[in-house]
Structure 1
């Protein structure tokens, strides 16, 4: 036996329609459970055992949903907030009712790869300090990034509060004609404003920051900021890679 769930909620969660739309469709006799027409959305079913048909087509229930979001600036990595738009506010049906939450966080002005899921075990596996899942960022710095900076990151930067960061990687350094510099940063932890504070300890300023990879999973280049898509099973495995 699996988890029992209301029939109208199950159908809505699978993207067939809103809860209200499902109640109407149920009353019209368009849904059957184990061969019997069910007209009440309050009926509870076991999606792992019961055969549920909508207009004669089997409904396959997925307990866990994991999305890749290209987070835009100005949106916070939270499930609710009274002052700001959250990443969940970017979602449409059927995902708004799936109890999704962000795996980790990106600062309000940081853009790029953010994972949304309702799978707590997956979130723990990606975020656990014991797992050492790397996160790669593209940063624009207000001045040249030097070989001395690379060594400092590899040695472990000390933040303004005295915290000693784990060794990090700076690579793909690209000086720009305007005096700024693009560089990629790989971290194995996720402290508050960490990339910005690490550069500030070297008296340098982060102008732009974008997360482009978590584990072995790279941000989909076809996703515009604010867009999202469902992760395939193999991509979820890439996400866990060290």
Structure 2
């Protein structure tokens, strides 16, 4: 038997924390009876579990890397009819993105139907590092890059320390290529960080997520994570949480 909130999360309905809220609000039933007690144990294969009167389907968990192109929404649907990341997959299983990449940002994005796994990776306390390559306007001084390394104040708070590497500068175009690694996920964070030091981002790509890279993928292509990669991501997140 397993805890009810864990079963809901693994079914991809919501994160475990959100599942706990759903239970507390009386929106979950087990075999037709409303359950509000957290920690209730259920047998997923035998018990009929419903959230808001909709049965949950306990799918086998799947995990994918997508090389997201620019001009694609990190969502499962869009009310404006724009292309979304799940359009690159068949409909044989339900998927949702782990976090997000902006519409005009390309690169590595994880998708899964495992809500608990997604919640672990997205939560700031687990400190999973994401590395981006940014083409920025102008040539930032070493002093300005150090501001990013130490953490810089944005309108929603100060950013955590980042790893920053100046890759190259192009005097003819007046642009630079900078690598930056962060573990937070504030909205449009990398772009806002560079704007704060006076060097707006012209192009942005996420190259790495933890130890994962885009190796072997072209834009718009995806591959399934290998079992040892899923295990390593979990172990890495748990290790950083405990440090």
TM-score by length of 1: 0.69
**Bigger Cα displacement from structure 2, 100-109 vs 115-124:** 115-124
- 1:31-180 mapped onto 2 (5 Å cutoff): 63-83=60-80, 84-92=82-90, 96-159=91-154, 161-177=155-171, 178-180=173-175
- Which residue does 1:218 correspond to in 2? 213
Q: CA RMSD in A?
A: 2.0
Q: In the TM superposition, what whole-angstrom CA distance separates every residue of 1:143-202 from its partner, at most 9, and x where no partner exists? A: 11221122101221111x252111111114211242211111101101111001011111
Kept in 2: contact 1:136–1:184 (CA 8 A): yes
Kept in 2: contact 1:71–1:114 (CA 8 A): yes
In terms of Rg, which structure is larger? 1
Using the TM superposition, give the Cα deviation of residue 90 of structure 1 relative to its aligned residue in structure 2, in angstroms.
Answer: 1.6
Kept in 1: contact 2:70–2:103 (CA 8 A): yes
- Which residue does 2:228 correspond to in 1? 234
What is the DSSP-based 3-state SS (H/G/I as helix, E as strand, rest coil) of the residue aligned with 2:207? Answer: strand
Task: Supply the distance in 2 between the matched residues of 1:181 and 1:238 (Cα, whole angstroms).
Answer: 34
Higher helix share: 2
Moved over 4 A (4+): none
Count of residue pairs the alignment pairs up? 180
- Which residue does 2:51 correspond to in 1? none
Using the TM superposition, give the Cα deviation of residue 62 of structure 1 relative to its aligned residue in structure 2, in angstroms.
Answer: 7.4
- Unaligned 5+ residue runs, structure 2? 3-44, 46-57
**Bigger Cα displacement from structure 2, 184-193 vs 172-181:** 172-181
What is the DSSP-based 3-state SS (H/G/I as helix, E as strand, rest coil) of the residue aligned with 1:130? Answer: helix
Task: Supply the distance in 2 between the matched residues of 1:111 and 1:142 (Cα, whole angstroms).
Answer: 18
TM-score by length of 2: 0.69
Kept in 1: contact 2:72–2:84 (CA 8 A): yes
Using the TM superposition, give the Cα deviation of residue 204 of structure 1 relative to its aligned residue in structure 2, in angstroms.
Answer: 1.1
What is the DSSP-based 3-state SS (H/G/I as helix, E as strand, rest coil) of the residue aligned with 1:136? Answer: strand
Using the TM superposition, give the Cα deviation of residue 205 of structure 1 relative to its aligned residue in structure 2, in angstroms.
Answer: 0.8
